[in-house]
Structure 1
Amino acid sequence: MLRILLLEDSTIDAELIEAQLENLQETFEVNRVATRAAYQAALAQHTFEIILSDFSLPDFDGMAALDLAVASAPDAPFIFVSGVLGEDAAIEAFRKGATDYVLKQRLARLPAAVTRAVNEARERAERRRIEQQKDLLVRELSHRVKNNLAVVLSLIRRTGRGCRSVAEFEEKLIARVSALADAHELLFEGNWDETELLSVFQRAVRPHNKDLSRFDIGRHDLVRLDPRTALSIGMVFNELVTNASKYGALANEQGRVSIAWVVNKTGPGRSVRINWTERGGPVVKAPDDEGFGTRLIKANIEYELGGQASLHYLPDGFRAEIDLPIAESEALRAVSA
């Protein structure tokens, strides 16, 4: 609906103007006012796509109406519809911001003038929207790049502390940076929108076990994660798989890993419980010191995402229980494997 504000004190002229507007190619609605007070009230209370105004009015003139429009509705085209508009007045009107003028003796050109003015205004608005979107994307990209560089620098510093050789440092650092890159790749493929938890898990496991043959995937409710959560969970899965490959169930040919996650729909907020269970691997012993991998898991879950991570080094296999708060829209439906 094209909303038109018509400032016209003559009822007959207003009817003639509206009759010509019937030739527009889109539906429209005319809000007619005849006084300064009504005009100001309409500008304050409503949004109009175009303003049509007489030049001579009883209690104020068209130039004053134009000034009010420029101040209150700068994006709305302003067209004078007047019986007499001298050349000097027309030049002054354009200088102040008027879009066009139509003589009442030639109202037949009004629909074309309105259509052109509205289309040009819409094009300007679309260009502004695109520019604003571009600026937003640039700022968001800059923010994400800075955050990612901070994460990488942290990985470099902390990975180096627990390594006994350059080769070990290189191996661990490449694995962790690759996990971060894989999570970014997954988000990029989804246009940086919400991503399924299952997809995050599969992408994190892929470098270690491409066909998932060593994993038993149990119940996995459909959970969609925002980009920040997906990146953190991707890093967590990478640490779990890396640990299982070196010391746990994936360190021999017989071990297996079971993973499942269930949405908890009770209580004041929703959460998802992720269970990671290893069996059939070497005998597990709790480490003497908490390594960076363990700290990374807890930092991502507890500090980044506000969840809880419980790690259990049991003789028959390592287990991890992760409770993660999720937004209402992220828990869509339950899917049993």
Structure 2
Amino acid sequence: MAGMLRILLLEDSTIDAELIEAQLESLDEAFAVKRVATRAAYQAALADDTFDVILSDFSLPDFDGMAALELAVASAPYAPFIFVSGVLGEDAAIEAFRKGATDYVLKPRLARLPAAVTRALNEARERAERRRIEQQKDLLVRELSHRVKNNLAVVLSLIRRTGRSCRSVAEFEEKLLARISALADAHELLFEGNWDETELLSVFQRAVRPHNKDLARFDIGRHDLVRLDPKTALSIGMVFNELVTNASKYGALANEQGRISIAWAVDKTNLGRSVRLSWTEHGGPAIKVPGDEGFGTRLIKANIEYELGGQASLHYPPEGFKAEIDVPIPESEAVRTVSA
């Protein structure tokens, strides 16, 4: 029955039912008619099945067409309801339209039934499409509102926490602008992909672009093709920004000789799949273990461990900073190994 027009016919006369079905043969669509003749059978049909259109006599042995219309409006409000009756006065027709009937066809003029059914179905489908568009719009508005609230919360947190770690207004402005710009870059990348999944490589390239436009100072090793959902992409983008900002000020990008090796691979265990990322700096100034955990370090750990349920290990050997990051990814993600 898939793809077939479903018609419920409420008619107590077998002869009239056969005439009605004969007229319906001229419809352009394949159809199936379920005929009922009593109130109980009609109610059972409405409860047990769905119909594209309902055809009903006006005068029936155990109840009338108006009662049938009320039941249809309650149980199948989107199905067009057409009276097919021997006699339907003007007052009755007006009352029927007021209560939700779509059309009426007199039995002496059954030839116009196919046109009435076709018109009713087209109008119903147009209304259904409008409802779908409205529902989609409402969904998008709610999603946009949710994302705006989340982003404002992130921005407020960045402002508050950046301010705590800065010693001057100039330092605060510089760090805050960099972090807000990183957030904006991640959003731009997601917007370009229509807020669908985004490749990890693209997130990395977009995050480091302001610091190293041609990636000449990066040695990219194995990098499996990994697609990230919007939430993960935003968090990873913020992490990359912190890593490259730190490297530009204190690490491998703070001089002309330093380089950064980066690689990531998908790892599958009994607990599921994750992407393991390594960031290794070398050739830069000698580094020292920081005395206090700065906001950048806390931001990295917060995004990886709390937002994404992963792990972030940061190391400070004299020859160069190292970061090892492990982030869980859904089993459905398609991945492909890419060599340097």
- Superposition TM-score, scaled by structure 1 size: 0.97
The equivalent residue for 1:240 is 243
Is contact 1:272–1:326 with CA below 8 Å preserved after alignment? yes
- 2:320 equivalent to 1:317: yes
Residue 79 of structure 1 deviates from its aligned partner by: 0.2
Partner of residue 36 from structure 1, selected from 32, 35, 39:
39
- 2:336 equivalent to 1:327: no
CA distance in 2, matches of 1:26, 1:12: 23
The equivalent residue for 1:4 is 7
- 2:199 equivalent to 1:191: no
Residue 272 of structure 1 deviates from its aligned partner by: 0.9
- 2:133 equivalent to 1:161: no
- 2:136 equivalent to 1:136: no
CA distance in 1, matches of 2:216, 2:311: 28
Moved more, 135-144 or 317-326: 135-144
CA distance in 1, matches of 2:76, 2:57: 17
- Secondary structure of the residue aligned to 2:269 is coil
1:249-273 Cα offsets, whole Å, 9 max, x none, are 1111111111111111221321111
CA distance in 1, matches of 2:275, 2:250: 27
The equivalent residue for 2:24 is 21
Counterparts in 2 of 1:262-301, with a 5 A limit? 262-301=265-304
- 2:259 equivalent to 1:261: no
List gaps (5 residues or longer) in structure 1: none
The equivalent residue for 2:219 is 216
Counterparts in 2 of 1:77-116, with a 5 A limit? 77-116=80-119
Moved more, 10-19 or 297-306: 10-19
- Letter paired with 2:200: L
Is contact 1:215–1:256 with CA below 8 Å preserved after alignment? yes
The equivalent residue for 2:71 is 68
The equivalent residue for 1:171 is 174
CA distance in 2, matches of 1:268, 1:111: 60
1:158-187 Cα offsets, whole Å, 9 max, x none, are 111111222211111111000000000011
CA distance in 2, matches of 1:87, 1:334: 74
Partner of residue 151 from structure 1, selected from 127, 149, 154:
154
CA distance in 2, matches of 1:143, 1:133: 15
- Letter paired with 2:124: A
Residue 28 of structure 1 deviates from its aligned partner by: 2.1
CA distance in 1, matches of 2:108, 2:278: 80
- Letter paired with 2:8: L
The equivalent residue for 1:57 is 60
- 2:311 equivalent to 1:308: yes
- Secondary structure of the residue aligned to 1:131 is helix
C-alpha RMSD of matched pairs (Å): 1.3
CA distance in 2, matches of 1:40, 1:219: 65
CA distance in 2, matches of 1:333, 1:82: 66
Residue 287 of structure 1 deviates from its aligned partner by: 0.4
CA distance in 1, matches of 2:307, 2:9: 56
The share of aligned pairs that are identical, in percent, is 89
List gaps (5 residues or longer) in structure 2: none
Moved more, 138-147 or 293-302: 138-147
1:162-214 Cα offsets, whole Å, 9 max, x none, are 11222211111111000000000011111111111111111101111111111
CA distance in 1, matches of 2:145, 2:20: 52
- Superposition TM-score, scaled by structure 2 size: 0.96
- Letter paired with 2:290: P
Is contact 1:263–1:331 with CA below 8 Å preserved after alignment? no
CA distance in 2, matches of 1:175, 1:265: 35
Is contact 1:49–1:76 with CA below 8 Å preserved after alignment? yes
Is contact 1:100–1:113 with CA below 8 Å preserved after alignment? yes
- 2:234 equivalent to 1:201: no
Residue 16 of structure 1 deviates from its aligned partner by: 1.7
1:19-56 Cα offsets, whole Å, 9 max, x none, are 21122222222222222222111111222121111112
CA distance in 2, matches of 1:268, 1:105: 72
Partner of residue 253 from structure 2, selected from 234, 237, 250:
250
CA distance in 1, matches of 2:313, 2:286: 19
